[in-house]
Amino acid sequence: MDKSDQKTIRRLQNLIQKTNDFPILSHTIDIVTKLTSSTNFDYLSITEITNSILNDFALTNKILKLVNTVYYRQYDGKINTISRAVMLIGFKQLRNIAISLMLFEHLKDKSTAVELKENIVLSFMSAIFARELSKNIDFKEYEEAYICAMFHNLGKLLVAFYIPLENKKIKGVITNKKMNEESAARKVLDISYQDIGVTFANDWGFPPKIIKSIYKLPLTHVPKPFSTDDILHSMTCFSNELCLLIANKELKPSERNDAIDKLLIRYKDCFDVSDDMVTDIIKKVMEEAKRYEESFNLNFFDASVKKQVSKFMNDKQSEKSKKQLRPKPLRDAVLNSEIVQVLDYQSTTRENGTASSPESILDRGIQEVTNILIEDYSINEILRVILEIMYTGMGFSRVLICFKNTKEPVVEGRFGFGNEIQDVKKVFLFYLDKPSDIFSLSLSKAADILVKDINDEKVKNYIPAWYREKVKAETFIVFPLMIGKKPIGIIYADKPKAGEIDLSPKLLSYLKTLRNQAIMALKRA
């Protein structure tokens, strides 16, 4: 970068450091990098990511609300946990839902600039288009296409969010000087949107495939892609260019059609896309956007974008109607009329206000685990669901499952949810051959134990030094995992302050049932 490039980058960096409120920053940047940096997800990485999502109560509720709509819920029973959602709809699809919702955080804010809303909506449209186009041409990495297309205009989003006045100037240059976006951005900012996006994507540790997809392709003929990343790149650029054309209110219908035809010709060596395919995919984009609007009471579309996309669809429908010689069959007319309503599943998850009671959460959770036990599942999947139910139902600070080492009499932390759980997992280790602490005693006696206060005279000598130094929770509960008389491990849960864990007989019964379901799953495994 030259000095003028660096000036704009430094300005944005300073603004980001001062406010740290861009929709994908703060704690969510950690989620984004985790969600996009690997393609080989084992139980541990999925657990870490689930834990990151669970730490954002509003995001968790929004995801569960969306995956419980008819579109996603293609089986019997309600999804009550993020872990279960991963099992049923797939990690990558859940990842894309989560990241989309992060970008929509500011859409309800009336003070948010129209240009920012418009750019976020266009990024979302492009992401859906890229995913559906991938499916149409049988490209297997369709969820990756979604995420690459979503972040293609990262630089543009940052400018619209942090320096909106310059963003308006850029739009003015595009209109008055007839420049393309990148050239107009460079004229106003001395650096292009592309270079801003690539700089920050690198700084934030985004994976190479996303960074590559931020780069623009030539405005002339686009050569045939050969690698998977090249296909993702071309699909990302095509989807974003197309959605920008459709939403451009300066274009007349004939001009828009001509521009789309030229775009299809430019990319003809990349994939075979027909005009009808474009129309069908845009229809799916609108349907998915509507689901988000209805689920979260969002005025999702910037008015001008919605008007242009609707106009595009109406024009295409009008063209199609003129070509049809015969009327639609009566049954199609009835199904597409307003008299027949496709019933949607109404989620009872409350985004705002008080959460459901612990009893109802645990009760629903037990039923959910019961349903899973009659399906095909991996042991780690079902254990994650059980731990998440305990964690959310009881409002524990941490929940951790520990297993006995197969080679020596040592029990070690394996995975869980909650505050600093990765650090706690690493230090959680105790021995079985000489029961001397509360954890080994729990297993040797096969006893469920609630420690109300680790500093109480009756128990303080049984709290190990590593626990006091590293874990520090003043109250916790231990459920031993036994198969017959053989110790397998424990489920541990805590809260920070003494006396905070208050267990009624009913709550204790629910927690024991979940522990027993974990043992049942372990036996089958």
Please say if the pLDDT value at position 45 is more than 80: no
Q: Which of 415, 461, 408, 410 is closest to 438 using CA atoms? A: 461
Query: β-strand 486-495 against 449-451: which pairing, if any?
Result: unpaired
The answer, yes or no, to whether residue 40 has pLDDT greater than 60, is: no
CATH 1.10.3210 residue window(s) in the chain: 3-23+104-328
Query: What is the pLDDT at residue 325?
Result: 47
Lowest mean pLDDT among 101-115, 184-198, 266-280, 355-369: 101-115
**Residues paired with residue 493 on neighbouring β-strands, in sequence order:** 399, 477
Using CA atoms in the order 110, 111, 113, 118, what is the torsion angle rounded to 10 degrees?
-20
User: What CA–CA distances, in Å, run from 110 to 301, 302, 307?
Assistant: 13, 12, 19
Residues with Cβ within 8 Å of 305's Cβ and at least 6 positions away in sequence, in order, are: 118, 121, 122, 125, 247
Tens digit of each residue's pLDDT (9 = 90 or more) over 343-378? 333 333 434 434 478 999 999 999 889 888 887 778
Distance of alpha carbon 50 from alpha carbon 259, whole angstroms: 43
The CATH number of 358-524 is 3.30.450.40
3-state SS assignment for residue 278: helix
220 pLDDT band (50/70/90 cuts)?
A: confident
Q: pLDDT digit string (tens) for 47-70?
A: 777 887 787 777 788 778 777 775
Write down the residue that tokens 């109300």 correspond to: 452
- DSSP assignment, residue 224? P
* Average pLDDT taken over every residue of the chain: 82
Q: What is the pTM of this model?
A: 0.69
Tokens 């129209």 identify what position?
A: 114
Q: Name residue, tokens 């991963």.
A: 86
Instruction: Tell me the fold of 3-23+104-328.
Output: Hypothetical protein af1432 (1.10.3210)
Least confident range from 117-126, 203-212, 319-328: namely 319-328
The answer on pLDDT for 439 being more than 50 is: yes
Rank 325-339, 372-386, 494-508 by mean pLDDT and report only the highest.
494-508
Q: For CATH 3.30.450.40, list the domain ranges present in the chain.
A: 358-524
| Lowest-pLDDT choice from 313-317, 416-420, 450-454 | 313-317
- Tell me what pLDDT residue 323 has: 57
pLDDT of residue 72: 60
Per-residue pLDDT band at 402 (split at 50, 70, 90) = very high
Q: What is the CA radius of gyration of the chain?
A: 27
